[in-house]
């Protein structure tokens, strides 16, 4: 990987990390409130669930970014964590925190989908 690409990826990662860390966290949306109106109660529960999913996604992204920065320190950035092949530059340009090449990511996504459905993951896939 060229030094200029490495610096560009690191800058992208650090800027995204800093934006996430400096984003105001409105946790009032996850506060449990009771109301006499059943319809409003359902709507509030849906809003709360959505807010929790957003916070979870932000936390996952922050974890992935920190892991990518650590891979940069270790000298393994840009290599797939599964097969060791180089991750395509276009993939890194879109997702500089990617830890898998597209082939291994597709396999991981398939395992995740089967696991969410309650099936046993097929590790040979």
* Arithmetic mean of pLDDT over the chain: 87
Q: What's the pLDDT score for residue 26?
A: 62
Q: Which residues pair with 79 in a beta bridge?
A: 86
Q: What's the pLDDT score for residue 52?
A: 86
Confidence of residue 30 (pLDDT cuts 50, 70, 90): low
Confidence of residue 12 (pLDDT cuts 50, 70, 90): very high
pLDDT, average across residues 17-37: 75
53-86: burial string, b at 16+ Cβ within 10 Å, e else = eeeeeeeeeeebbeebbebbeeeebbbbeeeeee
Neighbours of 97 (CB within 10 A): 21
CB 77 within 8 A of CB 9: yes
Q: What's the pLDDT score for residue 125?
A: 46
Confidence of residue 74 (pLDDT cuts 50, 70, 90): very high
Q: Which two tokens stand for residue 22?
A: 């400096």
Does residue 25 carry a pLDDT above 80? no
């Amino acid at each position: 990987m060229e030094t200029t690409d490495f610096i560009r990826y690191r800058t992208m990662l650090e800027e995204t990390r800093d934006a996430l860390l400096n984003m105001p966290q409105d946790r009032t949306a996850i506060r449990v409130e009771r109301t006499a109106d059943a319809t409003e109660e359902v709507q509030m529960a849906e809003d709360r669930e959505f807010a929790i999913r957003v916070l979870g996604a932000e936390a996952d992204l922050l974890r992935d970014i920190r892991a990518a920065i650590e891979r940069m320190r270790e000298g393994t950035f840009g290599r797939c964590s599964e097969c060791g092949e180089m991750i395509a530059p276009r993939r890194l340009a879109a997702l500089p925190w990617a830890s898998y090449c597209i082939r291994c990511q597709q396999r991981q996504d398939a395992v995740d989908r089967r696991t969410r459905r309650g099936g046993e993951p097929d590790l040979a896939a």
